Amino acid sequence: MTKPLRVNTRSEWVNIATDAMWDAMRRAVIGWPLLGEDENVNRLEEMVADLTGKEASVFVPTTNCANLLAMMGLCNSGDQVIMESRCHLWWVEQHIPRLTGSSPRMLPGNKLGEMDPAAIETAIQEQRYGMRPKTAVVCLENSHNVCGGVALPPSYVSRTAEVAHKHNAKLFVDGARLFNAAAAHNVALGEIVADVDVLSLSLNKGLGAPFGAMLCGSKNFISESRDNHKMLGSHSIHKAGFLAAGAIVALETMVDRLPEDHARARKLAELLVQSPGLTLDMATVQTNIVRVEVDNMSPYDFAAQVEERGVGVMVLDNRAVKFTHYGISDEDVEFVANVAKEVVDGNAR
């Protein structure tokens, strides 16, 4: 039997909805979303379209689903899609080539998850044998998960959009934690995606809603995405109004408190960086994720050993683990830091 965790920092989605969310869900009147008859789903989609400054949005089960729908709507067979080499969109949504026939073009980013706009333009214009593939989309991830929750600034997003649009490509943003990125830069959500054509949003990560994500774009794009839903089997969420009611409360009550998560992540990073055997780049600690490289043991062994002591962490790659925050107290932060220190100290002996 698995030992229960005292603190689970693997991801924010492990947290339980607030009482206000549960109350709204209990009171929800259920309609048929596919016919436009569920008032909570309709309201949620209108709210998110307004917050992002886009014409329309659609409520979907997961950000993975939203990202796949985005690629299905933006790409055709043979198109080139430019992505940062560590992005979630490539490593997790692996069916993009199969579903769209497009070819991802991976570009290395810096430690902040930024691809050089000049390198993006070079990739779009590159020719071999007199041939050049059509670039349909340039993709960004904001905040960037593997880089440690780094929040791409609005100015960088706008510069990237300028390059993409100059060459008749679209800009897509995987915004699973876009609310966190906007909070880190102290800007409205609509400002950080003003020049973005299509974006996804998670409702159950930083905002702690019980379920769901959003895909946002033009009215025509969202209409086509609703049709593509059927291919993924995600177009009909039964009793979606319950879930949308909880998400509406998350949008109304959880955005302003995101800086609390960022502050606790910063505090944890400041404690962890004091432990020999753990390496952190404090410049990347900008939102609710702390990327920690484990120097003298595998991250898998580290994760297993801290789990034995009551802390859940997620392995990011062959060098690092991550801690994420929502619903974690100041006392939890101290406990997690002490457990991590105990593990690396014990491994050093």
For range 219-242, the mean pLDDT: 89
Instruction: Say which residues have a Cβ less than 8 Å from residue 185's Cβ, sequence separation at least 6.
Output: 151, 153, 154, 192
What percentage of the chain exceeds 90 in pLDDT? 82
> What is the greatest pairwise CA distance in the chain?
64
State the Rg of the chain over Cα: 21
Instruction: Say how far apart CA 30 and CA 187 lie, in whole Å.
Output: 35
Answer positive or negative: Cα dihedral of 84, 86, 89, 94. Answer: positive
Enter the pTM of the model. Answer: 0.94
The CATH 3.90.1150.10 portion of the chain extends over: 7-14+257-348
Q: Residue 267: how many CB atoms within 10 A of its CB?
A: 17
The beta-strand segments (E) located in the chain are 7-8, 56-60, 80-84, 103-107, 135-141, 170-175, 198-202, 213-217, 278-279, 289-294, 311-312, 314-315, 320-324
Determine the Cα–Cα distance for residues 197 and 211; give it in Å rounded to an integer. 24
Query: CATH second-level architecture of 19-253?
Result: 3-Layer(aba) Sandwich (3.40)
| Backbone phi and psi for residue 266, each to the nearest 5 degrees, phi listed first | -65, -45
Considering the segment(s) 7-14+257-348 as one domain, its CATH architecture is: Alpha-Beta Complex (3.90)
User: Exposure of 201 by Cβ count < 10 A (0-12 exposed, 13-18 middle, 19+ buried)?
Assistant: buried
pLDDT band at residue 236 under the 50/70/90 scheme? confident
| Residue range(s) of every CATH 3.40.640.10 domain in the chain | 19-253
Distance CA 16, CA 204 (A): 10
What is the reported pLDDT for 229? 87
Q: How many CB atoms lie under 10 A from the CB of residue 235? A: 19
For 216-241, give the DSSP string: EE-HHHHHHHHHHHHHHT-S--TTHH
Residue bearing tokens 């995405």: 225
The C-alpha atoms of residue 331 and residue 72 are separated, in whole angstroms, by 45
The phi and psi torsions of 192 (rounded to 5 degrees) equal: -75, -15
Rounded-to-integer distance, Cα 272 and Cα 337, Å? 6
Q: Tell me: pLDDT of 31 over 60.
A: yes
pLDDT tens sequence across 108-139 = 999 999 999 999 999 999 999 989 999 999 99
pLDDT of 81-110, one tens digit each? 999 999 999 988 877 888 889 999 999 999
- Phi (first) and psi of residue 279, to 5 degrees: -120, 130
